Structure 1
Amino acid sequence: MSGETKSAAELAVEMKAAFESKFDAVKEIAEDALGKAKAGESLSQSMKEKADDALTELGGLKGSLEELEQKLDRSGGGAGADVKSVGSQFTESDEFQRFKDNPRKSDSAELMVKADLTTTTGGAGGMGAAVHSNHLPGIAPMPQRRMTVRGLLMPGQTDQPIIDYDRETGFTNNADVVAEGGLKPQSDFEIEEIQTRTKVIAHWIRASKQTLSDVSQIRSIIDNRLLYGLSFKEEQQLLFGDGTGENLHGIIPQATAFAQPAGFPAGTSIDKVRYMALQAVLAEYPATGIVMHPADWAWIETLKDGEGRYIIGNPQGTLSPTLWGLPVVATPAMALDKVLVGAFDMGAQIFDQWTSRIETGFQNDDFTRNKVTVLAEERLALAVYRDESFIYGDFGRQAD
């Protein structure tokens, strides 16, 4: 085996095994020390030094392992390396290969993609500027927003462009005890029929035919530009779409305004979120999520008590953000100083007619200019089943 070069993945496996072995050794030392402490024995200096050395070595292994795993993730060689990105699937598809090898004006290539995909980071710039000799594959990364609102909502599929559904606007509950032979009371639902249609979100870019041969560049554009652009616009529409023209009818324009509960003090931002969750549950739709701007979540996380201790924040915490047992989605798509609390998994549903798709082809004079058009699009509708299931309000820290 001497002189054999091991892959980064193989090194990661070996380092992980070494870390686990050292962890077991530290655990054994800790259990031995704990046993001595319970027996009233004092720890010897040699045992303390042994524990310190083991912990130091364990920390070094952990840092090296994390660094190697991060490099593997960035290079696509980690544990999820067998899960190909959308760009990889498209550029490796038979349709794309045939189109790349012999692009003609009547040809095209297409890939259907799952609608709940997530995207990686990427950057702006034309294709030509990104293709150089001795240049890393892909385009220089730029910050990208993590899309999260879709993940809170009920998923759905549709084969029709028109969605008809019933929205409950009220319920009169007259249920009561009834004597033998007595007349049973009637309860009433108030229902309105709603019709909505699926809307298209799309955009495209143009690249040279030569770029088709630079597979890593095409893959980078698909994953980091086209699909990210769809998700970016989709999240805005799910929250704020006004329902006019080709806009979705978003959640916030249909949500119920927050009303301060009688007899409760105004309280803090944390209290207000709790009151909004209460308003939702009183409408028979228990809240399942919270959406706010990252700056508002940072405000809440850094609130301190009279002694300077964080109320809910933990600077060293790694758990997903939650408040009152509900997941917090902190997204820049949300307006500053505003908060949305609701029953996302019951009160609204996404219907995907076209899941995200990628197509290539020619348009106008592309063929004679050696250009290729790459298109990304999706088609979806949003149904909000009850206005009272979503509560929208502001924290009141900024003037409207």
Structure 2
Amino acid sequence: MDKLTMLKDAAAKAAQDAQDIAQKAVDERRDLTDAEQNDYKASMAKAAELLEQAKAVKKDNDLLAEVKAFASELGGVKTEDIDLTGTVSNTLSQRENIGATFVKSDAYQALIKTFGSRIPERAQIQTPPVAVKSLFTGAGDTSAGAFVVPEDSGIIEMLGRRPLTLRDVISRRRTSSDVVEYVRQTAHTNAAAPVPEATTAEAPTADIVAGGYKPEGSWAFERVSTAVKTIAEWVPATNRALADAKQLEDLINAELAADLAETEETQMLSGDGAGENLTGILSTSGIQQQAYDTDIFTSVRRAITKARTVGRVAPNAIMLSPVDVETIDLARENGSTGKFLGAGPFAMGPRTLWGLPILESEAIAEGTGLVGDFTKAVLWDREQTTIAVSNSHADFFIRNLVAILAEERLAFGVTRPAAFVRTAVQA
């Protein structure tokens, strides 16, 4: 058995030893002990070292083969008869023997005849170009590229996520129940008025005006229930993948949690309440509506007025799509030649419109704006996002597969629907 084969076999055995250590812990459904971790790392390090030695031996063998091929192609020509600087050394970096190709070329043979059997040491010579094919290059796997080992940068670039804004401005609470109830007022009659002093102790009759009676107001309430709903997602993975690439497990966990957060925002804004969907703000009965009026600025301003005069709140934000926010940012005086109506492209700090912060969100449809006091929407966390791993799904146990599950449980409700105004911001 040659040295290269021995090194390859030893490297494979060291790698297998490391894999056996990891697989044993996976089969027993536990983490590696400190001793196992040390053995695993030592075996992997040994495998890597042996692999590097094998690569060096292979490179030496290939180089020796090239030299032998060069000597064979030269035949009876001795190296001392070739006094062209770099002829022999350069052949070692090319796929086919450049030295042999040059020596056999018509240009070289014609040149050598002019000097006899050999070229004098200090002779100045020049030949026509000699074509040389099939150089060693790093471009192909069948050439020098076969010896190029890719470097793992450790970078994993995902597709990206949309910014989430709604959870930051609504009210957030905790609950330990599966159903949340709250009371909201549905009607209010303000009958308060100045009251004259009583003029007699007798009860009032058709002939007697007693005075002193206070007017009676009226209020009406309703009890609202909202059920805790579950948002969840899972993906399959192999035990070996999770054991060999710890970074993969962390990445899966983060991506699953982000998926839940995106769905949560969409549900809180526009869930239709059917089945296991939340009833989002835009689907809540009783929110106000504002039709498009002139432009986006006028429409939003009229919505603010409705929120104040009907909803009896001081609006604290305006939610708009990125496209509609762009319309605001690019608005100019007197068409495209005028200056920007807003702070312009070099402004720093948060965007505002009519003094209210703009919530830029991809969850709301283009052409729709939402103005209101977002504290009147409440999110109750029953169980915040959790990640669980199990092989109890289908035949995963016998196939060394696991299901990675992310889920959260929450309830959502709008305590004062009139505090929100849905407005059209495009004609």
TM-score, reference length from structure 1: 0.63
Pairing 1:303–2:320 present: no
- Alpha carbons of structure 1 residues 100 and 322: separation in structure 2 relative to 1, 3 Å: farther
> 1:290 corresponds to which residue?
318
Q: Name the residue aligned to 1:144.
A: 161
Deviation of the 1:152 alpha carbon: 1.3
Q: Residue by residue, what CA displacement relative to the aligned partner does 1:123-162 show, whole Å, maximum 9, x if unpaired?
A: xxxxxxxxx9843336322121011111110001110011
Q: Quick one: structure 1 residues 107 and 180, their matched pair in 2 at CA, closer, same or farther if it must change by over 3 Å?
A: farther
**Aligned partners of 2:23 and 2:341: how far apart in 1?**
58
How far apart are 1:105 and its partner, in Å?
8.4
The equivalent residue for 1:315 is 345
1:254-296 Cα deviation digits (max 9, x unpaired): 1523246xxxx94421121111111011121221111111101
Structure 1 residue 364: deviation in Å? Answer: 2.0
8 Å Cα contact 1:257/1:391 also seen in 2 = yes
1:161-196: CA deviations, max 9, x gaps? 111112222221222233345222222222222111
- 3-state SS in 2 of match to 1:156: strand
Of 212, 220, 223, 2:251 maps to 220
Which residue number corresponds to residue 395 of structure 2?
365
Mean Cα displacement is larger for which, 372-381 or 315-324? Answer: 315-324
Structure 1 residues 1-400: aligned runs within 5 Å: 102-103=25-26, 134-137=151-154, 139-181=156-198, 182-213=212-243, 214-223=245-254, 225-254=255-284, 256-259=287-290, 266-282=293-309, 283-306=311-334, 308-345=338-375, 347-362=376-391, 363-397=393-427
Note the C-alpha offset of 1:312: 1.2
**Structure 1 residues 385 and 275, CA, compared in 2 at 3 Å: closer, same or farther?**
same
1:81 corresponds in structure 2 to none
CA distance in 2, matches of 1:101, 1:317: 59
Is contact 2:231-2:408 (8 Å) kept? yes
1:41 alignment counterpart = none
* Post-superposition offset of 1:104: 5.5
Choose 287-296 or 367-376, whichever is displaced more: 367-376
Q: Is contact 1:240–1:249 with CA below 8 Å preserved after alignment?
A: yes
Query: RCO higher in 1 or 2 (8 Å CA, sep ≥ 6)?
Result: 1
**Aligned-pair distance for 1:377?**
0.5
Matched residue SS, 2:173: coil
User: Is 2:270–2:282's contact at 8 Å kept on the other side of the alignment?
Assistant: yes
The structure whose Rg is larger is 2
| CA–CA separation in structure 1 for the residues paired with 2:280 and 2:371 | 14
Q: Distance in 2 between matches of 1:100 and 1:152?
A: 47
The answer to whether the Cα contact below 8 Å between 1:166 and 1:192 also exists between their aligned partners in 2 is yes
Per the alignment, do residues 320 and 298 of structure 1 end up closer, same or farther by CA in structure 2, a change over 3 Å counting? same
The structure-2 alpha-carbon separation of the partners of 1:200 and 1:105, relative to structure 1 and needing over 3 Å to count, comes to farther
Shift of 1:229: 0.5
3-state DSSP of counterpart to 2:174: coil
State the match for 1:123 in structure 2.
none
Deviates more, 1:166-175 or 1:241-250: 166-175
Change (3 A) 1:221 1:133: farther
Segments of structure 1 that go 5 or more residues without pairing to the other structure are 1-98, 109-131
CA shift for structure 1 position 206: 1.1
SS in 1 for 2:183: strand
Residues 161 and 197, structure 1, Cα contact 8 Å, conserved in 2? yes
Does the CA contact (< 8 Å) of 1:138 and 1:220 recur in 2? no
**Aligned partner letter, 1:278:** T
Distance 2:294 2:328 in 1: 13
* Correspondence for 2:111: none
| 1:169 and 1:386 in contact (8 A); partners too | no
Quick check: 2:290–2:299 contact (8 Å CA) kept in 1? no
Structure 1's 308 and 372: CA in aligned 2 closer, same or farther, altered over 3 A? same
Query: Residues of 2 paired with 1:205 and 1:375: CA distance?
Result: 7
Q: CA deviation at 1:228?
A: 1.1
Structure 2 SS opposite 1:178: coil
SS of the residue corresponding to residue 165 of structure 1 reads strand
TM-score by length of 2: 0.59
CA drift of 1:321 comes to 1.6
1:107–1:361 CA contact under 8 A, matched in 2: no
Distance 1:161 1:382 in 2: 12
How far apart are the structure 1 equivalents of 2:395 and 2:150? 29
- Segment of structure 1 superposing worse, 388-397 or 169-178: 169-178
1:246/1:101 CA distance change after superposition, 3 Å: farther
For the residue of structure 2 that corresponds to 1:217, the secondary structure is helix
Give the CA deviation at 1:301.
1.1
- Contact conserved, 1:291 with 1:331, CA < 8 A, in 2? yes
**8 Å Cα contact 1:170-1:190 kept in structure 2:** yes
Secondary structure of the equivalent of 1:280?
helix
Contact kept? 2:233, 2:256, Cα under 8 Å: yes
Secondary structure of the residue aligned to 2:172 is: coil
Please give the secondary structure, in 1, of the residue aligned with 2:302.
helix
Distance 1:100 1:278, change over 3 A: farther
Using a 3 Å threshold, how does the CA distance of structure 1 residues 339 and 107 change in structure 2: closer, same or farther? farther
Distance 1:279 1:100, change over 3 A: farther
Helix, strand or coil at the partner of 2:232: strand
> In the alignment, residue 156 of structure 2 is paired with which amino acid?
I
